[in-house]
């Protein structure tokens, strides 16, 4: 805790007076009362960004899915476990935000039907019908007075190509591209920032360090 205070004290206040909304962690889409679809996001990257943004003087709201991490001091911490709950939490807090950083690994799909009782095992196979979830980031970026929107692209192939396609499709000023197997669950990350001027690689570093460099880049673009 002392180290965190020292870090905060010596961090330039590049985001003083800015309101920053960050999503982090994985969502969980329930199939029945005990089972669900989730993903490997640990929440560490999003929490590191929330902490660094707070250290840089921002007023931080952290909307968090499933994670084992502790809440961030000096931030408004909001839990939202499903993609739908996260959509609602973001939309009801997006007014007057200056920056929106969508780090959470939101489920692209949810089961069409959520069973009220536990599905009993049988010896036959089972078919699960999935339907697409709303795209939180695309909808925020389309708002009339949208904040500065930053996306994350965690891919397993064609990283920069997929990330740039995603950036343009969602009309984002900035996207952070990273390889899923290097990012998910790890204490470190290796990312490439992509904006209209091209690709800016950040070499492999702790998620805390990556968070600071990302926020410096954002601060210069505001």
| Angle at CA of residue 173, ends 149 and 160, nearest 5° | 110
Within 55-84, the residues that bind a copy of itself by CB under 8 A are: 68
Specify the residue for token string 């799909």: 109
The answer to the question of residue 160 lying near a copy of itself (CB under 8 A) is no
Least separation in angstroms between CB 18 and a copy of itself: 30
What is the edge-to-edge ordering of all strands in the sheet holding 174-179? Answer: 75-79, 59-64, 19-24, 99-102, 148-155, 174-179, 188-195, 198-206
The correct pick among 70, 124, 145, 197 for binding a copy of itself (CB under 8 A) is 124
The answer to the question of residue 128 lying near a copy of itself (CB under 8 A) is yes
Tell me the Cα Rg of the chain.
18
The answer to the question of residue 127 lying near a copy of itself (CB under 8 A) is yes
In the beta sheet, which residues pair with residue 75?
60
**Size of the residue set binding a copy of itself (CB under 8 A):** 44
**Does the annotation mark 39 as catalytic?**
yes
User: Exactly one of 39, 133, 178, 189 is catalytic; which is it?
Assistant: 39
Instruction: Report CA torsion sign: 10, 177, 50, 46.
Output: negative
Using the contact rule CB under 8 A, the part of the chain among 2-10, 15-23, 56-64, 129-137 near a copy of itself is 129-137
Residues at the interface with a copy of itself (CB under 8 A)? 28, 31-41, 68, 105, 107-109, 112, 116-132, 135, 154-157, 162, 180-181, 184
């Amino acid at each position: 805790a002392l180290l965190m205070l020292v870090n905060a004290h010596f961090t330039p206040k590049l985001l003083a007076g800015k309101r920053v909304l960050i999503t982090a962690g994985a969502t969980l889409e329930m199939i029945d009362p005990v089972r669900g679809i989730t993903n490997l996001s640990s929440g560490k990257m999003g929490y590191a960004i929330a902490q660094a943004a707070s250290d840089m003087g921002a007023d931080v709201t952290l909307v968090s899915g499933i994670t084992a991490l502790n809440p961030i001091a000096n931030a408004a911490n909001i839990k939202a476990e499903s993609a739908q709950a996260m959509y609602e939490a973001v939309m009801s807090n997006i007014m007057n935000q200056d920056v929106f950083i969508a780090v959470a690994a939101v489920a692209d799909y949810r089961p069409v039907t959520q069973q009220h009782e536990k599905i009993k095992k049988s010896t036959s196979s089972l078919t699960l019908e999935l339907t697409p979830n709303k795209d939180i980031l695309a909808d925020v970026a389309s708002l009339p007075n949208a904040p500065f929107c930053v996306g994350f692209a965690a891919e397993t192939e064609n990283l920069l190509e997929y990330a740039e396609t995603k950036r343009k499709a969602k009309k984002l000023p900035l996207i952070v591209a990273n390889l899923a197997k290097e990012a998910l669950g790890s204490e470190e990350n290796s990312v490439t920032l992509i904006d209209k001027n091209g690709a800016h690689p950040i070499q492999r570093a702790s998620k805390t360090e990556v968070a600071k460099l990302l926020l410096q880049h954002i601060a210069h673009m505001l």
